[in-house]
């Protein structure tokens, strides 16, 4: 895939209590005070499938997909915290589809990586992926406005869309999501990376509709940690580039499943 800095102290996860689901589910857009950090930003929205099928056990059967997703998010956090530039430039948001309330929701509003803390996800319900993508695009547009209004440069935002199943949205909602995803990419407003978790032919065909720039990539659910370490490394690289600059990302071979 091709995309278009002294070490501060940070909290040890073992020494603190992570935010609860109820604390995290605060679906609101808010203006941010950027006065203390006017560095260029690299935006990334994670759209994560937390539907009931994420309870399926994979690999040797010891762990569920949701457990391995949680391990991946932990690895993402620890790897991202190693890089000073990324801590101050990478800006994250998380949208969930399914999960506790069985809907598409904003789990984490825009947060600089230095303030990011991994949340333990729980699976439940259906897969309203179209609603989740519409929410992610709305998040990006709101943040692009905030950054421009504050005179802060930013690289092209990323949307990571991860799912292990077919969308359960109505056809109208799903088509609206496809249309808006294509328009956003055509206007250089974002780049979408569809990730198919243990997916079959139908799921991959569906995910392919979301992006006109990047085809879906298969992720074996036992490789969540490898994927999120790759994502962290990629965001580090992009965060050190200039807006509009093309950068070479690392190989996806450690986590991607190549289909013959």
pLDDT-derived band at 51 (thresholds 50, 70, 90) equals very high
Nearest CA-CA partner of 207 in 137, 159, 157: 159
Q: How many domains does the chain have?
A: 1
CA distance 254 to 61: 21
Q: Is residue 176 in some structural domain? A: yes
Instruction: Provide the pairing of β-strand 158-163 with 191-197.
Output: parallel
pLDDT single digits (tens) 193-222 = 999 999 889 999 999 999 999 999 999 888
Average pLDDT, the chain: 86
Q: Is residue 257 in some structural domain? A: no
pTM of the predicted structure, to 2 decimals: 0.86
Q: Is residue 166 in some structural domain? A: yes
CATH number at residue 57: 3.40.50.410
Q: CB-based contacts of 226: which residues, under 8 Å, 6+ apart?
A: 254, 255
Helix (H), strand (E) at residue 163:
strand 158-163
User: What is the extent of the structural domain holding 160?
Assistant: 45-248
Question: Which pLDDT belongs to residue 151?
Answer: 92
Q: Is residue 3 in some structural domain? A: no
Q: Is residue 91 in some structural domain? A: yes
pLDDT single digits (tens) 7-24 = 222 233 333 333 333 333
């Amino acid at each position: 895939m091709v995309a278009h800095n002294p070490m501060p102290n940070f909290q040890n996860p073992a020494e603190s209590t992570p935010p609860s689901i109820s604390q995290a589910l605060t679906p609101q857009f808010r203006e941010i005070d950027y006065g203390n950090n006017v560095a260029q930003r690299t935006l990334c929205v994670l759209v994560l499938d937390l539907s009931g099928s994420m309870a399926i056990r994979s690999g040797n059967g010891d762990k569920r997909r949701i457990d391995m997703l949680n391990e991946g998010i932990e690895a993402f956090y620890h790897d991202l915290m190693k890089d000073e530039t990324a801590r101050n430039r990478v800006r994250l948001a998380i949208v969930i589809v399914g999960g506790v309330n069985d809907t598409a929701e904003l789990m984490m509003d825009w947060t600089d990586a230095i303030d990011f803390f991994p949340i333990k996800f729980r699976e439940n319900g259906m897969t309203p992926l179209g609603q989740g993508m519409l929410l992610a695009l709305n998040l990006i547009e709101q943040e692009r406005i905030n950054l421009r209004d504050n005179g802060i440069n930013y690289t092209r935002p990323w949307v990571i869309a991860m799912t292990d199943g077919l969308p359960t949205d109505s056809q109208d909602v799903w088509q609206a999501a496809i249309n808006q995803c294509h328009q956003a990419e055509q206007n250089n407003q974002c780049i979408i990376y569809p990730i198919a978790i243990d997916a079959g032919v139908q799921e991959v065909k569906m995910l392919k509709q979301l992006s006109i720039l990047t085809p879906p990539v298969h992720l074996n659910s036992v490789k969540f940690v490898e994927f999120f370490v790759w994502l962290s490394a990629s965001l580090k690289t992009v965060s050190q580039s200039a807006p509009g600059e093309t950068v070479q990302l690392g190989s996806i071979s450690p986590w991607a499943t190549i289909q013959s």
